[in-house]
Structure 1
Amino acid sequence: MQRLSSSQLGSEFIDWPVYMRCALDLAVTVINTSPNPRVGCVIVKAGGIVGKGWHVSPGKDHAEIMALKSAGEDAKSSTVFVSLEPCSHIGRTGPCCDALIAAGISRLVIAGIDPNPEISGLGIKKIESAGIEVFYLEDSEAAARKINVGYFKRRETGLPYVRCKLAASIDGRTALSNGVSKWITSAEARADVQLYRAQSSAIITGVETVLSDNPSMNVRFDELNLTAEAKQQNLSLNSIQPLRVILDSNLRTPGTAKILHVDGGIRIYVAKKTIDQELVESKELPDNVELVFAEEESQRVNLHFVLESLALNCECNEVFVEAGPALSAAFLEAGLIDELIVYIAPKLLGSDAKPLFEIAGLQSMSESRNFAVKDLDKVGDDIRVCLIPQK
């Protein structure tokens, strides 16, 4: 495999970054392909694109297969640009490497190596063993990882990528002192949240939120389709509801809670030493609810255990935390949040209203928690700030 940077691209390869950019753009055509990565593919011959493809959902054609079908006979002696190393193993579908070899392609250009141990580097070796040249565009690697930030994190660390969403007034308050929080943010901001939910493998909340707000915590696809970002990207939706996860140490979630009665799976994590079978039976929980007895930490559910479990047992790439100030603070203090999504509404709620996080007071500025601003946008009348916690 030859690794190439933009400075090493001669006249013969001058258009390669353009074709790879096209493959990367195709990769994000579908908002969520979990547990698989999002992948795009472009097939080029005689200076023009003859085939395009992208992965739609697990069990469906991978990007390379869709592109090969699109190209037909033109795939022979072509150059294939794919945003991630082709698979070489039999999973829900057959190996893409075999299909590329059978099609008689001349060259393969990739933007990233698949971190899946069943694939990592093996796809490249298989392609090269068939006499096909393989090139790695180093300058496209960051974009390839960004598209699949959760997939890479799960494969490399055993944990999903964690986003925590918060909504607050300009004085940093999330609800009135009496608990009322509907609505702090605009309808546009609430619709924007649906996009984050839709791209997540799981949505995590706490029992306090279930008891106080009785939310459904599902993706409202009718609202999501109205968002400007969805329209701009022409996103395709699988209409699959993310797994909903409730952290409930003592199983206080009532069997009538809305979150238990919408499409999709439910996991309730409880502290293993605090629940008896009689209590479980008394709840009359729906059949789609799975109780998971988690490791206990100070009589509470161990958050690290929860994330490991979601990655290992549910193959969750990205999870979205929508919880109250106590649970959000617990994730933050445990160092488990990768990205904060904060919607700031242009209103004041007063000093007795509830804060963003329930964290202990600090004595000096050196103790403060710092964040890097990743992104900042206006959504309706609100401001959306994406923040990365600094270690």
Structure 2
Amino acid sequence: MSLDGRTAMASGESKWITSQDARRDVQCLRARSSAIMTGAGTVLADDPQMTVREAELPCELEAAPSIKQPLRVVIDTHLSMPAEARMLTLPGETVIFTASDSKSPKVMLDKAGARVIYLPNREREVDLPAACQLLAEEYEVNELLIETGATLSGAMLRAGLIDEMKIYMAPILMGNKTRGLFDLPNIECLDQHFPLEIVDIRAVGRDWRITAQPIYA
């Protein structure tokens, strides 16, 4: 994010807010994670690979005998992810959680190699706690890295499913016609805020990496 807490322009443009050093540091987080989760909006906007790019890892990790690619997880409420998404052409598994029972896109995504799981909650959105439980039980995911936009980040925070944040902050200002870090629409007064505990701050190249833990009521 920028110094004023912005993660993308209004158009969705976000490459690159932080430096290459920060992006290399993120590759280390990916390499240690069991799975990487993102939302359908990010897939449609950026068509991400969601893989560990070994060429960007520090030398000691790049030379490791086996870098296992994490499981790719997409939260896609309306099943809008295209079967031509780049991640579906890469080695490794992709799991898509949806609240849509539409048959045609599911068939196309199945053919492309994804596993589509129908998991709605009462609001006809994806049941995020149930999705995390399934990932733990069926895929033995014990460290889930969420790389996504404000909508899914906000939903995960509101559901109490974020244990720790790694925030990379660049020394730039992007203004008020841009997108924020978390979508938290129900906060209307100060005492509704989400408190955090800062456990670490360090420089990563020209940027700062802030490690914070939410304090849930």
Q: Give TM class, smaller chain.
A: over 0.9
Per the TM alignment, residue 361 of structure 1 is displaced from its structure 2 partner at its CA by 5.8
- Pick from 27, 43, 52 the counterpart of residue 194 of structure 1: 27
**In structure 1, what is the equivalent of residue 142 of structure 2?**
317
Structure 2 residue 77 is the aligned partner of structure 1 residue 249: yes
Q: Is the 8 A contact 1:249 1:270 kept in 2?
A: yes
Correspondences of 1:270-285 after superposition (within 5 Å): 270-271=98-99, 274-283=100-109, 285=111
Deviations 1:319-362 (A, max 9, x none): 00011101000000111100011000000111111111111263
Q: Percent identity at matched positions?
A: 38
- Pick from 357, 376, 382 the counterpart of residue 182 of structure 2: 357
Per the TM alignment, residue 205 of structure 1 is displaced from its structure 2 partner at its CA by 0.3
* Cα distance in 1 for residues equivalent to 2:140 and 2:179: 34
Deviations 1:254-300 (A, max 9, x none): 111111111111101111xx32323323456423x111111324111
Q: Give the letter aligned to residue 98 of structure 2.
A: V
CA RMSD of aligned residues (A): 1.8
**In structure 2, what is the equivalent of residue 240 of structure 1?**
68
Q: Give the letter aligned to residue 197 of structure 2.
A: A
Bigger Rg, structure 1 or 2: 1
Relative to 1, partners in 2 of residues 1:282 and 1:363: Cα closer, same or farther, differing over 3 Å? closer
Q: Give the letter aligned to residue 189 of structure 2.
A: S
**In structure 2, what is the equivalent of residue 179 of structure 1?**
12
Per the TM alignment, residue 184 of structure 1 is displaced from its structure 2 partner at its CA by 0.2
* Cα distance in 2 for residues equivalent to 1:354 and 1:276: 30
Structure 1 residues without counterparts, runs of 5 or longer: 1-167
Local SS of the residue matching 2:145: strand
* Cα distance in 2 for residues equivalent to 1:245 and 1:237: 25
Q: Give the letter aligned to residue 119 of structure 2.
A: A
Q: Give the letter aligned to residue 210 of structure 1.
A: V
* Cα distance in 2 for residues equivalent to 1:239 and 1:259: 17
Relative to 1, partners in 2 of residues 1:276 and 1:366: Cα closer, same or farther, differing over 3 Å? closer
Correspondences of 1:55-66 after superposition (within 5 Å): none
Per the TM alignment, residue 178 of structure 1 is displaced from its structure 2 partner at its CA by 1.3
Q: Give the letter aligned to residue 102 of structure 2.
A: D
How many aligned residue pairs are there? Answer: 216
* Cα distance in 2 for residues equivalent to 1:200 and 1:269: 19
Local SS of the residue matching 1:301: coil
Correspondences of 1:270-349 after superposition (within 5 Å): 270-271=98-99, 274-283=100-109, 285-287=111-113, 289-349=114-174
**In structure 2, what is the equivalent of residue 89 of structure 1?**
none
Q: Is the 8 A contact 1:295 1:305 kept in 2?
A: no
Per the TM alignment, residue 202 of structure 1 is displaced from its structure 2 partner at its CA by 0.4
Relative to 1, partners in 2 of residues 1:299 and 1:209: Cα closer, same or farther, differing over 3 Å? same
Runs of 4+ in structure 1 off by over 6 angstroms are none
- Pick from 30, 36, 47 the counterpart of residue 203 of structure 1: 36
